[in-house]
Structure 1
Amino acid sequence: MQQPHGTTPDVPEDPVGEGADPGPGRPVRAGIPEHGRVPKYYAVKTELEALVDQLGEGGAVPTERDLAARYGVARETVRQALRELLLQGRLRRRGRGTVVAGPKLEQPLSLVSYTEGVRRQGRVPGRSLIGLDRRPAGQVLGGQLDIAADDPVWHLERVLLADDERVGLESTYVPVARFPALDREFDPDSSFYAYLRERLGVRFATAEEKIETVLATPREALLIGTPPALPMLLLHRLSRDTGGRPVERVRSLYRGDRFSFTTRLSGD
C-alpha cells in the first residue's frame, strides 16, 4: 500500500469480493460506504487487520513510525487506525509497545458465576479485594432487596481478573441480616456464588439483568487499569432464590475490548 504522502490509498469498492461472505462478525462490504470514498485511516486499519492475522496472538506490532512509512501515510492516520483496533480488542498495550490480543472472553448471560464462566474458557479467574464494608441500604437499594432503607447491607467491591489481567470491576450488595458473618466467613478471592451455594445452601432461581454501554469513571479506570475513554459493558443484576426472595444486587463493569456476552434463544 505504498501511496504518496497525503493521498487517499486506493481501496477496492468491495474488498471481500462480489457476493463473498465477509465472515462472522465482519461488516458487509468491509464497511465501505456506498459512495466508495474511504477514509485513509480505515484503509490503513484494513491493512493492519491483515497484519494482525499474520502475526497471531502475542505478536508485536511495528511502531507507528514504521507503519506510517510502510503505508505512506501520516503517523496520526496510523494512530487512529491502531486506536480503533485497541478499542475493538484486536490489539492491547504491553509496556510501551502494542501486541496482538487474544480472543475476547465470552461470558454467558445466565445464573452462572464469573468464576465458572471464565474457567469454561480455559482461563484462570481471580479477584482482588477493594473493600468489604457495611452501609445503610437507602431507599432504592432497600426497595430492590425488600428491606428497610436504614437496614444495613454489605458492599463487596472487587477487581475481576482473568489470567492475572484486570478485566472488570464488581460491586455486590447483600443484606447484613441475611448474611451476618460474611466478613468473617467469606474469602474475597473466591467465588461468592460458591460460598452461597456450598456454605449457606442458597440456590438462585431467577435474575433480572440489564446491560448498557458506559465510560468508566476516573476511579474505575484506575482500578481496572484502562484509559477513561475505553467503552465498558455495564451489567445490573438482581438475583432471587428459589423462594422468590432477593439475594443480591450486583453492578458489574467489564472491559469492552476484552469481553462479549452470549445467550441462547429459543422460540415459544
Structure 2
Amino acid sequence: MATSRESTVPYEIPADGAAPVRAGIPEHGRVPKYYWLKARIAPLLEELGEGEPLPTERELALRYEVARETVRQALRELLLEGRLRRAGRGTVVAGPKLEQPLALASYTEGVRKQGRVPGRTLIGLSRHACPGDLARELGIAPGDSIWHLERVLFADDERVGLESTYIAVARVPDLSRDFDPDSSFYGYLRERLGLRFGDADERLETVLATPREALLIGTPPALPMLLIHRLSRDPAGLPLERVRALYRGDRFSFSVHLHG
C-alpha cells in the first residue's frame, strides 16, 4: 500500500550535523512524519534534562505543526526506547539506562556502581513442595521443600524489575526468620551463611510482561521486557539457586566483557 504524501516528509539532516544512524531510513529519503518528529523532539529532551516534564501533546502539535496523533506515535516510540517515562499523569525526560553486567554480582552492587540507590519491595516469601523439573535443576528430590522469594526491584524510587528466586529450604532453613527482604539476597548468603557462588548459566531473552507482572512493575503490558533465567552453582558445582528476573526494556541494558 502506498504511503500518502501527507504522512511522510523528506528526511533532512539536522542543522547541527548530528544526523541519526540511517537504520530505518529508506534510500529515497522519505520517512513517516512521526519519525521526523522524533528527530525534532530529541534535541528538546537534551535541553530539558532528566526528570523535566515534556510539553503537552497539544503544545508539541502546535510547535511542530503536526496532528496530535503524530505526536502520540512519536512519544510512544520515545517511551519504548526509554528516552521518556511516565510520571503521574504526565511525561518526563528519562535518565540514562541502567547498565547491569552479565556476571555473578548482585543487583545491589550493579545499581550502586551507577550512583543509584537500590531498593526492593517484598511481594511474597513462600515455602512449598518442589515440582519435578525445578527439582532436577536444583539437584533435589521432587517434593522437597523450596523457598520462593518474589520482589519488585527499584532504582532510586523507580520500579524497574521483578525478581523470583527459588532455593532449597535445606540450603537456607531460616530464610523466613532472619532474612531482611529489603536487603541483598546475595549479601545474606555470603555474610550470614558463608555460601559462595562458583559459576552460573544465564539466558537472556525479550518478552512482554503478563498483566500481573506489568501491574507489579508499573508498566504498560506492551512494553518490551528483558528476561533473565539464571541457574547458579556453588564452588563445588552443586546447584544453589534458580532465578527468573524481569527488567524493564526501556530502563535497562546489559553488558558483558569478552576476551580471546
Give the TM-score, by structure 2 length. 0.94
The yes-or-no answer on 1:127 pairing with 2:115 is no
What's the secondary structure of 1:157's corresponding residue?
Answer: strand
1:57-103: CA deviation from partner (whole Å, max 9, x where unpaired): 12221111111111111111110000000011100111221111111
What's the secondary structure of 2:127's corresponding residue?
Answer: strand
- 2:198 pairs, out of 171, 191, 205, with 205
Deviation at 1:21, TM superposition (A): 7.9
The residue that corresponds to 1:48 in the other structure is 41
Residue ranges of structure 2 left out of the alignment (5+ in a row):
none
- 1:91 pairs, out of 81, 84, 95, with 84
Amino acid at match of 1:95: G
Q: Distance in 1 between matches of 2:114 and 2:190?
A: 22
The yes-or-no answer on 1:186 pairing with 2:216 is no
Residue ranges of structure 1 left out of the alignment (5+ in a row):
none
The yes-or-no answer on 1:169 pairing with 2:162 is yes
What's the secondary structure of 2:31's corresponding residue?
Answer: coil
What's the secondary structure of 1:69's corresponding residue?
Answer: helix
Q: How does 1:19-38 map to 2 (within 5 A)?
A: 28-29=21-22, 31-38=24-31
Moved over 4 A (4+): 14-17
Q: Distance in 2 between matches of 1:16 and 1:89?
A: 25
Deviation at 1:8, TM superposition (A): 3.6
Q: Identity percentage over the alignment?
A: 71
Amino acid at match of 1:91: L
Cα RMSD after superposing both structures: 1.8
- 1:79 pairs, out of 72, 92, 105, with 72
- How many residues are matched? 256
Deviation at 1:16, TM superposition (A): 8.9
Deviation at 1:11, TM superposition (A): 2.3
Amino acid at match of 2:229: H
What's the secondary structure of 1:204's corresponding residue?
Answer: coil
- 2:150 pairs, out of 151, 154, 157, with 157
Amino acid at match of 1:202: L
Q: How does 1:4-23 map to 2 (within 5 A)?
A: 6=6, 8-12=8-12
- The answer on whether the counterparts of 1:16 and 1:29 sit within 8 Å (CA) in structure 2 is no
